């Protein structure tokens, strides 16, 4: 070919534009790779890469023999990273500190038991802790650990190592359920996080499972300024 080579990004973007502008209608069949390669003056492999990226991002669907179609209603979802608090803080260039507030084996409150699919009142490990960034309160953590699935936790004091890090190292999980919402700080949360009582706090509740077994349920409370950002 004459002139500069055509990049797969340019081809991808042009095809995305056609989909966006409805030049290629929702549900419609688009030209085959070879035809597109001729049109764009590129190798078929290059067009293929562009198409694969569009397919991966959910804009088109491809089937051998049947060809490539514009997906009528692309599926929409956002992904959020599940980081260690320590990493989250250190990634901001701040110094991390950890403080254990309490640790006890207690009977499960009804609400907690229900979510973990365990029996109300059965005894599990309850840990409360504070995570600080450059000395300022960053996250208050209230956690229940299913010692049935993670027996080693009963022998750990959590005075130096946070439950978060201990669990990551010792108890892998396969699924996580997350719930996020805003709330007004309770008296205790306000005191611990150094905000006004009733001030907005950002709460993340995370329940992790190893295949059907609950591992841990944690409620993480942040000052309202905290942002949770999807991966880019």
Partner DNA sequence: GAGTGGTCTAGACCACTCA
Partner DNA sequence: GAGTGGTCTAGACCACTCC
CA neighbours within 13 Å on the CB side: how many for 66? 9
List beta partners, residue 107.
123
Site string for DNA, 62-81 (x = CB under 7 A): xxxxxxx-------------
Q: Is 18 an interacting residue with respect to DNA (CB under 7 A)?
A: no
Q: Is 171 an interacting residue with respect to a second copy (CB under 8 A)?
A: yes
User: Could you tell me if 201 and 184 are in contact, meaning their C-beta atoms sit under 8 angstroms apart?
Assistant: yes
Q: Which token pair is 162?
A: 């946070």
Q: Which of 30, 36, 37, 54 binds a second copy (CB under 8 A)?
A: 54
Q: Which of 25, 28, 32, 123 binds DNA (CB under 7 A)?
A: 32
Residue 26 beta carbon to a second copy: minimum distance, rounded to whole angstroms: 8
By three-state DSSP, how is residue 136 classified? strand
Residues 6+ apart with CB under 8 A from 96: 85, 86, 89, 90, 131, 132, 133
Q: Which token pair is 96?
A: 């991390």
Find the Cα–Cα–Cα–Cα dihedral 108, 113, 118, 124, rounded to 10°: -30
Site for a second copy in 187-206 (CB under 8 A): 199-203, 206
Residue 51 beta carbon to DNA: minimum distance, rounded to whole angstroms: 6
Q: Is 52 an interacting residue with respect to DNA (CB under 7 A)?
A: yes
Size of the site for a second copy (CB under 8 A): 63
Q: Which of 46, 139, 146, 208 binds DNA (CB under 7 A)?
A: 46
Residue found under tokens 């008296």? 187
| Cα–Cα dist 222/205, whole Å | 11
Q: Is 79 an interacting residue with respect to a second copy (CB under 8 A)?
A: yes
List beta partners, residue 30.
68
Q: Which of 16, 18, 48, 86 binds DNA (CB under 7 A)?
A: 48
Which of 8-16, 107-115, 138-146, 192-200 is the region at the interface with DNA (rule: CB under 7 A)? Answer: 8-16
Q: Is 117 an interacting residue with respect to DNA (CB under 7 A)?
A: no
Residue 79 beta carbon to DNA: minimum distance, rounded to whole angstroms: 21
Site string for a second copy, 132-161 (x = CB under 8 A): -----------------xx-----------
List beta partners, residue 145.
125, 216
CA angle, corner 191, sides to 203 and 83, nearest 5?
35
What is the binding site for DNA (CB under 7 A)? Answer: 1, 5-10, 32-34, 41-46, 48-49, 51-52, 55, 62-68
């Amino acid at each position: 070919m004459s002139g500069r080579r055509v990049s797969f990004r340019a081809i991808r973007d042009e095809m995305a534009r056609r989909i966006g502008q409805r030049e290629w209608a929702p549900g419609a069949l688009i030209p085959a790779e070879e035809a597109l390669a001729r049109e764009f003056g590129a190798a078929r492999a290059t067009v293929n890469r562009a198409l694969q990226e569009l397919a991966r991002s959910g804009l088109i669907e491809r089937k051998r023999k049947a060809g490539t179609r514009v997906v009528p209603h692309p599926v929409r979802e956002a992904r959020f990273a599940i980081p260690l608090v320590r990493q989250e803080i250190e990634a901001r260039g701040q110094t991390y500190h950890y403080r254990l507030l309490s640790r006890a084996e207690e009977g499960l409150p009804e609400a907690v038991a229900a979510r973990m699919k365990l029996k109300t009142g059965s005894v599990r490990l309850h840990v409360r802790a504070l995570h600080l960034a450059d000395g300022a309160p960053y996250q208050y953590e209230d956690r229940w650990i299913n010692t049935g699935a993670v027996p080693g936790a009963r022998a750990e004091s959590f005075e130096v190592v946070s439950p978060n890090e201990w669990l990551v190292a010792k108890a892998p999980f396969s699924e996580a359920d997350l719930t996020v919402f805003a709330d007004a700080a309770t008296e205790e949360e306000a005191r611990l996080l150094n905000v006004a009582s009733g001030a907005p706090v950002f709460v993340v509740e995370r329940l992790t499972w190893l295949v059907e077994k609950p591992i841990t349920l944690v409620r993480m409370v942040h000052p309202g300024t905290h942002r949770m950002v999807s991966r880019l």
